[in-house]
């Protein structure tokens, strides 16, 4: 019996929290005391409001769309347009919000609905789609899909370790999921260890698809589209099928499968077992070798024998590949649909576990190689974004810059900054956009009542609601807080862990992840070896102690902490800051990035 069947109900889930502990993260040896009064900054008050006001909105969201079992109330169906991945994506950002410091209620709401939906999709079956006839999920994960949709489905699962790392059911699932992509699960032979490849871009808990995909495989069983609001614009089921008519090429490895590296990474963060790290390194290094074979470009098709591009050298092939521009049946036009940004997940994960800048160098080089194929038309320079049988295409007026922000953030090299261009958050970190924190936080606060109002007016019923219809009403948006409090790049939709964060916080008084009550934090500067953060205690009567950690998973070493010119040696990945009532200060941290093995605590 799988753990979801044992712990799926809310009482069973919450009772497990007696086993949770973050004591390992709170074992900081050094304490820095801050006693200087600081008038409450506006950004600090806005942070605390956002953490508080989001939770009741989240409660109302679950009350409207989920029953007491945690089942999503909608027309359950298989499909890339509106399948289970979209239902699970309704809770994107919820674990991060709890880890930021929101109340335990948001954690409990997420666990109840997550477990409920896993049971719901294990019970749900297709009639005509072969993969789902025994259940859309098996062993608590999709039986077969591509890693655009796997990644979206697993968005909140992959960040649960930020504050739920000791939950037994979570740890068991992490091991189970990783086994499916490491050659350890005979029911899911997705991985070829000899050629170091995932055998199809359609894969899952029942293994890879080793035949051309059909439109039905992508779309799901026939249904009367006219009764629903299809957000991709289709009006008939025939249009659904036509949308995926060209999505047949799926056999062989694909850069989109790099998102799968997150599953062994989850297990590594939880267990520190070397085999998980080794698999990530071996698989990613195989991809670096493939990039060398294609002049620095990551291929989208690797044949089952390991040959890049197969016998015809079509390295740009496969659905969602470099040369994928299918017809949109709604408007009759070809649209470029490469999913190259998803591959960034693998590079981030490899950097996190190794600290090796080779992975950053490879992506930087790819940006330069793509842009080296620019052309001039009528005196204006154009840059490609696609490549097919006839060479480069998908011309655009600005340089191809996918991953430019990540490359700069990972390297912290000044020469990488120009590729990023205009970015309000980066400009704030450079001291050129001082209003960014308050502007961004107010925007997030204003969005909460607006989304709730739309949700309350939602006319759809469970019989007429598709999986993606409720996504726009999700009131939880942690992106701004992640940037401001942790100095982090938010995980996005790709299905990654929090692989790019400079700091995190824990509350030793409550023995949990997240900033303590009344405390706020603002990361205002990032360099290769320094982080500047303002910490403030808004309580006028109570002292607060916050544990500061280097990196999302302790991967960065904190060498020193400077407060008002007084420097304290830290030389650890955590230290405590004791804030007197109403006190605050700017803390300048000397750091060595990627110095430690990452670990979820």
What's the pLDDT at 11? Answer: 34
Contact call for residues 522 and 584 (beta carbons, < 8 A): no
Span 403-429, pLDDT tens digits: 999 999 999 999 999 999 999 999 999
- pTM (two decimals): 0.95
Chunk the chain into consecutive blocks of 10 residues (it has 601) and report each block's average pLDDT, rounded to whole numbers: 33 40 60 97 98 98 97 96 94 97 97 97 98 98 98 97 95 98 98 98 98 97 93 89 96 98 98 98 98 98 98 97 95 95 98 98 98 97 98 98 98 98 98 98 98 97 95 97 98 94 97 97 98 98 98 98 97 98 98 98 88
And the tokens for 387?
């490549």
Backbone angles phi, psi at 203, to 5 degrees: -150, 175
The residue count for the chain: 601
Span 77-114, pLDDT tens digits: 999 989 999 999 999 999 999 999 999 999 999 999 99
Rg (CA), the chain: 24
Residue 333: burial class (beta carbons within 10 Å; 0-12, 13-18, 19+): exposed
What's the pLDDT at 594? Answer: 98
Span 462-515, pLDDT tens digits: 999 999 999 999 999 999 999 999 999 999 999 999 999 999 999 999 999 999
Distances (CA, A) of 564 to 31, 561, 568, 577, 585: 16, 10, 11, 14, 8
* Helix or strand run (H / E) with residue 585: strand 584-592
Say how many C-beta atoms besides its own lie within 10 A of residue 143's C-beta: 25
């Amino acid at each position: 019996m799988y753990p979801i069947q044992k712990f799926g109900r809310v009482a069973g889930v919450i009772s497990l929290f007696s086993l949770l502990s973050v004591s390992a993260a709170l074992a900081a040896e050094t304490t820095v005391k801050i006693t200087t009064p600081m008038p409450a900054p506006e950004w600090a008050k806005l942070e605390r409001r956002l953490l508080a006001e989001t939770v009741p909105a989240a409660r109302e969201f679950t009350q409207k769309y989920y029953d007491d079992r945690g089942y999503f109330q909608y027309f359950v169906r298989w499909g890339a347009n509106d399948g289970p991945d979209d239902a699970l994506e309704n809770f994107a950002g919820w674990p991060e919000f709890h880890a930021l410091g929101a109340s335990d209620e948001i954690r409990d709401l997420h666990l109840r609905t997550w477990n409920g939906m896993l049971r719901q999709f294990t019970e749900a079956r297709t009639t005509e789609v072969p993969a789902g006839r025994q259940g859309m999920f098996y062993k608590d994960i999709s039986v077969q899909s591509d890693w655009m949709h796997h990644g979206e489905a697993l968005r909140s699962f992959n960040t649960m370790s930020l504050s739920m790392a000791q939950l037994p059911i979570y740890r068991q699932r992490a091991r189970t999921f990783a086994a499916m992509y490491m050659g350890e699960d005979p029911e899911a032979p997705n991985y070829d260890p000899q050629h170091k490849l995932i055998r199809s871009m359609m894969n899952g808990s029942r293994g890879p698809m080793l035949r051309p995909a059909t439109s039905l495989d992508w779309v799901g069983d026939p249904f009367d589209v006219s009764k629903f609001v299809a957000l991709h614009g289709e009006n008939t089921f025939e249009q659904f099928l036509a949308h995926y008519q060209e999505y047949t090429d799926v056999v062989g490895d694909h850069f989109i499968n790099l998102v799968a590296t997150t599953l062994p990474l989850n297990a590594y963060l939880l267990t520190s077992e070397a085999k998980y790290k080794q698999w990530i390194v071996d698989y990613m290094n195989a991809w670096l070798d493939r990039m060398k074979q294609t002049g620095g470009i990551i291929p989208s098709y690797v044949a089952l024998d390991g040959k890049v591009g197969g016998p015809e050298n079509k390295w740009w092939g496969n659905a969602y590949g470099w040369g994928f521009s299918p017809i949109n049946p709604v408007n009759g036009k070809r649209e470029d649909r490469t999913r190259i940004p998803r591959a960034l997940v693998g590079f981030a994960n490899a950097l996190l576990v190794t600290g090796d800048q080779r992975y950053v160098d490879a992506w930087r080089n790819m940006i330069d190689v793509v842009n080296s194929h620019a052309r001039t038309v009528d005196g204006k320079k154009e840059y490609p974004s696609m490549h097919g049988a006839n060479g480069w295409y998908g011309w655009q007026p600005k340089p191809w810059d996918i991953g430019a922000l990540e490359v700069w953030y990972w390297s912290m090299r000044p020469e990488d900054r120009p590729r990023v261009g205009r970015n309000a958050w980066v400009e704030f970190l450079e001291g050129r956009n001082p209003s960014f924190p308050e502007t961004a936080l107010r925007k997030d606060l204003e969005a909460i009542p607006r989304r709730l109002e739309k949700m309350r007016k939602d006319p759809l019923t469970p019989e007429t609601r598709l999986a993606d219809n409720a996504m726009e009403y999700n009131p939880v948006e942690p992106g701004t807080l992640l940037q401001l409090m942790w100095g982090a790049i938010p995980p996005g939709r790709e299905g990654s862990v929090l692989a790019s964060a400079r700091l995190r916080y824990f509350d030793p008084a409550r023995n949990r992840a997240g900033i303590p009550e009344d405390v706020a934090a603002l990361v205002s500067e990032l360099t290769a070896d320094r982080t500047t953060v303002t910490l403030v205690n808004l309580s006028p009567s109570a002292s607060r102690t916050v544990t500061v950690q280097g990196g999302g998973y302790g991967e960065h070493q904190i060498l020193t902490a400077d407060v008002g010119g007084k420097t304290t040696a830290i030389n650890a990945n955590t230290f405590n800051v004791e804030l007197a009532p109403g006190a605050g200060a700017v803390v300048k941290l000397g750091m060595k990035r990627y110095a430690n093995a990452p670990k979820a605590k």
